[in-house]
Amino acid sequence: MADYLAQRGDLAAGAGELAGLFREPTLQEQFGQAGKQLLLVVGMELLRRHTRPAGR
């Protein structure tokens, strides 16, 4: 991970119009992604409980 962070500027410089892929995500983007992941995990847990046989 440290290698990538050290090279990120060089990668962005060589990526042309795709340079945005190497930028640091904003705090808002990180918060939104964490919320999506939380909803996914909660939804999967609810589905798992719902589809589990009654005897277990």
pLDDT digits (tens, 9 = 90+) for 7-38: 888 888 888 898 888 888 899 999 999 999 99
Sign for the pseudo-dihedral over CA of 20, 29, 38, 3: positive
Q: What is the mean pLDDT of residues 42-55?
A: 84
Residues 5 and 12 sit within 8 Å (Cβ to Cβ): no
Question: Is pLDDT larger for residue 3 or for residue 35?
Answer: 35
Q: Can you give the pLDDT at residue 10?
A: 86
Rounded-to-integer distance, Cα 10 and Cα 19, Å: 10
Predicted TM-score (pTM) above 0.75:
no
39 band by pLDDT with thresholds 50, 70 and 90: very high
